[in-house]
Amino acid sequence: MTPRTRRRAVALAAVLLTAATGCSGSVGTPDAPAVGKEPARPAAPSAAPGGASARTGFTLVASGDILPHDSIIQKAAADAHGQGYDFRPMLSGVKGVVSGADLAICHMETVYGAEGGPYTGYPAFKSPPEIAPALKETGYDSCSTASNHTLDDGVAGLTRTLDALDRAGVRHAGSARTAEEADRPTLLRAGDATVAQLAYTYDTNGYPLPEGKPWAVNLIDEERIVADARAARRAGADVVVVSIHWGTEWQTAPDDRQLTLARSLTASRTGGRPDIDLILGTHAHVPQAYEKVNGTWVIYGMGDQIAGDMINHAGSFDPRGNQSSLGRFTFTPPTAPGARWEVAKAEFLPQWFDTGRGRAVDLNAAIRKGEPLTAVRDTVRGVVLGRGAAKDGLVMGE
């Protein structure tokens, strides 16, 4: 990979439902710390107001669903030129944004098949494990793995996925191989902050949780999410990020459950401090709005970062299924003991997946080069800002 100016995130501890149509389209050990972004040598602390040492803030980038349909798998095979599967070219268009952040989080919606295959797309996904090192090379540090497809291949698929991510040095949250792993928050380092990533899904497409392993996939439960956030604080988290797979497919407006849960989660406080600092939504397959709720940023849905031509519930190709946004948040250290890390700058970056070329496209960069994609960018921007986030400072980044 090219040298980076950012600090590498280092681990501190080691029936199909209606969603199916939206998903259609033409190791190490659990305790082993993952390789993260190489930490820069710390400078000598300087004095700050109140006598505290100065602390360094950080930027966090997050992106939407990675959903490898058959066409995506075929493209990765073609890009590998007979040597397996190569997903790196597919993600190269967003590498600059992702690798430029101090901490980058993806959503790995599907599970991996065994080495050598067979690999399948919709409806029961088994993706090539070569995705994992491609995520690492693109700059991702951790991925949520709780989705309605987490149990598409049972415990075996779940285990293969987490094993492959471990081998690649990509952390993960939302599914687990052991009860101990499920109980341990995913803690990452960014700047001078310890960041916890928690992840949950609304369902597993009707597949029951494995017998005797109710902890295998985190399901959405408000009380449990709050309890986990508070446990992450006790484990040392300065910032708690919740990745959540929710919402109604093909609906750009957040549904009632999203709105209700966002309000209740962001209202939860301990000692006057919010328990959750950022919510990252996935699943709807279309971009959804960003909104500041009770002082905390919520992305209702980022859309699909990688997916084949998407077929909606009416059975028609829907170009919105290949539109998405990346969120970028700049966190600054607390100004007083016991205060939260604040988001000093909130940005979104519009993205499009070009199914013809099989490439993720940074729309701003493409438009600067003269590509006729202004209408696509403006569509994403209109949805993202649709709940008034601009008045709270959300801007389109470059």
What's the total number of domains in the chain? 1
**In this structure, is residue 228 part of a structural domain?**
yes
Radius of gyration of the chain (CA): 20
Whether residue 258 contacts residue 300, with contact meaning beta carbons closer than 8 Å, is answered with: yes
- Dump pLDDT digits (tens) for 108-125: 999 999 999 999 999 999
State residue 54's pLDDT score.
74
Q: Is the peptide bond before 123 cis (omega within 30 degrees of 0)?
A: yes
Task: Report the CATH number at residue 168.
Answer: 3.60.21.10
**In this structure, is residue 42 part of a structural domain?**
no
**In this structure, is residue 286 part of a structural domain?**
yes
State residue 26's pLDDT score.
43
State residue 268's pLDDT score.
98
**In this structure, is residue 48 part of a structural domain?**
no
- How many other CB atoms sit within 10 Å of the CB of residue 78? 13
Q: Residue 332: beta bridge partners?
A: 342
- pLDDT below 70 — which residues of the chain? 1-53
**In this structure, is residue 319 part of a structural domain?**
yes
Cα separation, 159 vs 390, in Å, equals: 41
Cα separation, 367 vs 120, in Å, equals: 34
Cα separation, 276 vs 180, in Å, equals: 23
Q: Which domain holds residue 101?
A: 19-37+53-396
Phi and psi at 116, nearest 5°, equal 90, -5
Determine if the pTM surpasses 0.75.
yes
State residue 16's pLDDT score.
34
**In this structure, is residue 168 part of a structural domain?**
yes
**In this structure, is residue 349 part of a structural domain?**
yes
Place of tokens 């590509």: 371
- Dump pLDDT digits (tens) for 128-154: 999 999 999 999 999 999 999 999 999
C-alpha torsion 97→368→297→96, nearest 10: 0
**In this structure, is residue 347 part of a structural domain?**
yes
State residue 339's pLDDT score.
95
Nearest to 135 by CA among 91, 194, 178: 91
